[in-house]
Every structure is written in structure tokens, then in C-alpha cells.
Amino acid sequence: MVDVPAPRRAPIGGVLLNQLARRLLAGLPAFPVVAAAFTLLAVAGAVVILVQAELLARLLADGVLDGPSVGSVAAMFGLLAGVFAVRAGLSWAQQALAQRAAASVKASLRRRVLRRTQELGPGWLSGQHTGGLTTTLGRGLDALDPWFTGYFPQLFVAAVVPVAVLVRIAVADLASAVIIVVTLPLIPIFGILVGLSTTRATERQWRALERLGGHFLDVVAGLPTLRAFGRATSQAQAVRRIADEHRSATMRTLRIAFLSALVLELVATLSVALVAVPVGLRTLDGGLTLSTALLVLLLAPEAYLPLRALGSQFHASTEGLAVAERCFEVLDAPGSRGPARSLRRPDATSAGGDDGAATPTPAPGSGRSARVPVASGADPAAPVVRFEDVTVRYAGREEAALDGVSLSVATGERVALVGPSGAGKSTLLNVLLGLVPVSSGRVLVGGVDLADADVEEWRREVAWVPQRPHLFARTVAENIRLGRPDATDDEVVRAARLAHADEFVAALPRGYETALGERGAGLSSGQRQRIALARAFLRDAPLLVLDEPTAGLDAGSEATVVEATARLMAGRTVLVVAHRPAMVLDAGRVVTIEHGRIAGPQLPAGVR
């Protein structure tokens, strides 16, 4: 990207490591070691700069004055070559170390963000742009590399090298040192002054710039609409005009923004001139030896370089900081109840700051989670599940998704939920599965409020066949084993047979060991549904939750899925969202949901 200024993230005010950067470094497992290494490298770098200048100054001064034979100064040449080699080696070490640190921080950030997404759960994820998040966690994080390999190590160099150089110059020629001491602070001071005086101007233009920059995407995305109304060709001129407006607006901003670069560059080069000319005049007087004069000339630019480099490195790393910001947004997202506590590893004590607030429920094993006696249900007549006046509101929606729903399901009962799409049937199931929190009311599972129960344990009593099951990028067998990782191959095959999946799985090139592509690409929706049914068979849980298991299937696969589903229901408590008569016929009771409410009487099925 071109250096379009990003005023909101500019280092104005001299904040070298803002909060964002400090958080980023907190993710570096061996931060003290890395910091110590960078400090050492910066000190070694400073020493090398001093030695190199010293050797070069002496050699060149001798060359001017005496013209010694190369042989007589061979040792010094050898030393100089060695110093150059060491300098290159230090640069290599710094870059390699920085890149390795970047790799570690990226991995740590990825781990924390992924963990957090699972704590926030499917409810939160459904409102996110998961494709964008996948990109952020993959290629996106690579944008952090410039920060780690450029700006961060440069901080250490900027802290060490100017001081070392200044001390050496002071020893050689105090007058030059004074000039540098006076001018060096001008770089940060001018940086801040120019920054302050231009920020407002740039910020004012920023929004306009953003809008013009977004115009192209807007028009390209709307091109089908433009064509539909015969306006595509007439917009071609507008695209060019706005692109040109964008250019001139950007240039207006840049003319101001680059002023800081101009001032900094001028301070640095004019200071070298300020040092060189008096040094020359004093050499002329015989007040300075040539070798000292050359030493000062060689060292003077090295005093300014690190600070100037720091500024441009910061510019190059703003994109990475934006990605880090996105990651921290996820880490800071207000948490829902959900599976959080069961995900936190006992050893993850340091994670408390990031996710502690989001998990009000006690950790497993603390003894405060209520147990969920479902399978062991002593009283078979007692309801397995009981919704009491449950209301669910989604953020940003006016209408409640569920509005005061009360419903009991007894052990062994089969309840079909019917109603128009969007009426709240799936929300009801998601509440039961602990995927969506209730806004008011409560859900009792085996007599225990789900809000107080250990969700993990409750889910062990449940097998679920969702409307669109996710197939994982693993083998078919591993996909079926999802709910029971320790199941034997025989058990997997048996479950697949019951789900009518065995026929097509056996026909796959590598049978159950066939790896499924991303999102199970290559399987038809009917086949995917049968894999999900096999999962449920293998899970073998007492409560079965089905969400339109035959939605979107063609007639052929529907019949097999219906048959397999009927088999799966046998002997289990069933809650099924049905959208076909076939699914309801087996149900003991039909509950109609409309506009988030239970509508009409709950009729026994078959009264059609």
C-alpha cells in the first residue's frame, strides 16, 4: 500500500509503544529473552559502528597524508573487512531473531483468538464474517511481520546507537558533539510539531478520502444492478472522475503529511553539514587531525539514522497493527455464557485477564455445577426438558425470536415442532443445546436449570442432527466419530449402516479413510445429512434433537434419510423440527410455533 497517512494510528505524541503494541508483545512467550537479545545486538551493533568508523578514518587519513603501501596497513584492512562481516552477521541475527519472534507471536495470537471464538460460541460466530476471520488468522497476521522485523528491533537500535555515537564524538571533538546534541532532539520535536499541526487537516480529509476510496468497490459490487437498469456504461465516466478526485484529495493530504518527512530529512542532512563545515575549518587551522575529522564525519549520520528509520518503520507496520487490533477485538468481545469454562485449561491461569470476565459460571470440577440426571432419570414420568416462559432476543432485532415459550417433554416422548421458517423453531433447539442464552425465563433439564448446569455434561445426553451439518476437513470416519472419538471401526461402520451412509461411503475411493475437502466438498447434501445421522447413531444419546433433517434434499435421498431418522428415533426422547409430513407422523405431539410463540393446541400427531 501507498503511505496514505493513517492519522488515527500515527505515533503522534511520541508514544513509541502504544497499548496495542504492548499487548502484542505480551503474546511473545520469551519476551525478556528476546528483549535482552535485541539490546545485546544493538550494543554490539553500536560497537561495530564505532570500530568501523575508527578504522576507516585512520586508513583514509593515512591515505591522504602519507600514502602508505597497502602491505604496511594490511592488518588494518583485515580488521576492517572483519568488522564489515560482523556488522552483516549482526544484521542477520537481528532479522532472524525478529522473524522467529514474529512467528511465535502470530502462533500465540492465533491460539488465543481461536480459543476465544469457541468460548464466544456459535451464537456469536453466526453474526461474524467467518471468511474474513479465517483470512485474518491466516495471511492477515503476516502483516505483523514488518512491525516485528522493522519497528520493534529498531526501537533498541534507536535507544543505544545515537548515545554511543554521541559519546564517541564527544571524546573526539566536543564542539561537534554539542551541535549534534542540540540538533538530534529536533527530530522527535519536529516530528511532533509537524504531526500536531497536520493531524487536524489530515483527519478532516480522511473521511472524504475513505469515501472516495470506497467508491470503486461500491460501483463494482453494484455493477449487476447498474446493468439491470442500463446505467453501466454511463457510470464509466463517473468511475474515472471519482478515481481522479480520489487522487487529488490524497495528494492534498500527502503534501501536508510528507512535510514531516521533509523536515526530518532536512534536520538530519543539514546537521551533517553543520558538523562537517566547522570540522573542515578547524582541520584547516590544524586544530583537528584529519583522522579525527573523518571520524566525526563518518559517525555524524549514524547518530540521526536510527531515529529517522524508526519513523518510516512505524509507517510500514501500521497495517499489521490494524490486524492485531482486529484480533484484540475478538479477544475483548463481550462474552456469552456458553462452553467457555469447560474450554479453559486448568493451566491457563494467565488467560484470566482476557476471558475471566466473560465466564460468570464456575469452572468444572469446582463442585458448584449442578449435575444433570437425564439418563439416570429415576422418575420416567418426570419431564426431561422443560421450557418455562423462555424469551430470546437477538441483538439488533426488534421482534423476540422466542416469546414466553413454555413446553415440557417427557422421557420417551416425541415432539415435533412445526411452523413457518423464521418462527423460532431452531432458536428453541439452540437454547436447549446451550448454544443460545435465554433473555428471560429458564430451561430445566432433568430438573436442573440449564444456566446452572454443566453444559458439557448436559450435551453428553444429546445427539443432534442440524439442518446443515458441518463436515470437517478430516476423514469420513473421523467425521462420524465426532461425538465419540474412542469408537471402534466396527462401531463406526455400524452407525453408518444404520444411517444409510455405508453404501456411498464404501464407494468412495478410500472408503471411510477418504479425506473430505473443505466443508465436505464432494458430497451431496443428502450424503452429508446421512453422515450427520451416523454421528447421531454413534453418539447413542438418550435425547435426540433434529432440525429439519431432510431440508433441501431431493426426493430420492429424502426417503432414505426419513427411514434412517425413524430408526434413530426408536427408544429415544425426540425433539424434531419438522417441515415434512413424514417427519411428523411418528411424533407423539405436534407443537406449532408462530412468531416466537406456541400457537394453538398441542395436538397429537396423526389427527390430520
Cα–Cα dist 197/176, whole Å? 31
Site for other proteins in 572-601 (CB under 8 A): 578-581, 584, 590, 592, 595, 599-600
158: CB partners within 8 A, 6+ apart: 306, 307, 309, 310
| Nearest Cα residue to 369 out of 381, 361, 379 | 361
Site for other proteins in 286-345 (CB under 8 A): 286, 289-290, 293-294, 297, 301, 338-339, 342-343
Residue type, 188: P
Establish if 202 lies at the interface with other proteins (CB under 8 A): no
Cell for 124? 456469536
Q: How far is CA 485 from the centre of its chain?
A: 29
Task: Report helix, strand or coil for 524.
Answer: coil
Establish if 114 lies at the interface with other proteins (CB under 8 A): yes
Establish if 562 lies at the interface with other proteins (CB under 8 A): no
Site for other proteins in 345-404 (CB under 8 A): 397, 399
Establish if 603 lies at the interface with other proteins (CB under 8 A): yes
Cell for 512? 471411510
Establish if 36 lies at the interface with other proteins (CB under 8 A): no
| CA dihedral (90, 92, 98, 101) positive or negative | negative
Establish if 229 lies at the interface with other proteins (CB under 8 A): yes
Tell me the closest approach of the beta carbon of residue 381 to other proteins, in angstroms.
Answer: 25
Q: Which of 26, 276, 322, 351 binds other proteins (CB under 8 A)?
A: 276
Tell me the closest approach of the beta carbon of residue 52 to other proteins, in angstroms.
Answer: 8
Proportion of the chain in helix, strand, coil states, percent, rounded to 5:
65, 10, 25
Residue 359 has φ and ψ, to the nearest 5°, of -120, 85
Cα–Cα dist 450/438, whole Å? 10
Stretch that binds other proteins, among 10-18, 220-228, 351-359, 368-376 (CB under 8 A): 220-228
Establish if 13 lies at the interface with other proteins (CB under 8 A): no
Give Cα separations from 583 to 137, 372, 421 (angstroms): 41, 29, 16
Q: Which of 269, 376, 440, 488 binds other proteins (CB under 8 A)?
A: 269
Print the binding letters for residues 66-85 with other proteins: x by CB under 8 A, - otherwise.
Answer: -xxxx--x---x--xx-xxx
Cell for 235? 457510470
Stretch that binds other proteins, among 153-161, 196-204, 230-238, 382-390 (CB under 8 A): 230-238
Tell me the closest approach of the beta carbon of residue 173 to other proteins, in angstroms.
Answer: 12
Establish if 226 lies at the interface with other proteins (CB under 8 A): yes
Establish if 118 lies at the interface with other proteins (CB under 8 A): yes
Tell me the closest approach of the beta carbon of residue 263 to other proteins, in angstroms.
Answer: 8
Establish if 33 lies at the interface with other proteins (CB under 8 A): no
Which lies closer to other proteins via its Cβ, residue 222 or residue 588? Answer: 222
Stretch that binds other proteins, among 37-45, 357-365, 370-378, 420-428 (CB under 8 A): 420-428
End-to-end CA distance of the chain: 66
Site for other proteins in 429-448 (CB under 8 A): 430, 433-435
Task: Report helix, strand or coil for 549.
Answer: coil
Residue type, 252: R
Q: At what angle do helices 318-332 and 130-137 cross, to 10 degrees?
A: 120
Cα–Cα dist 534/500, whole Å? 8
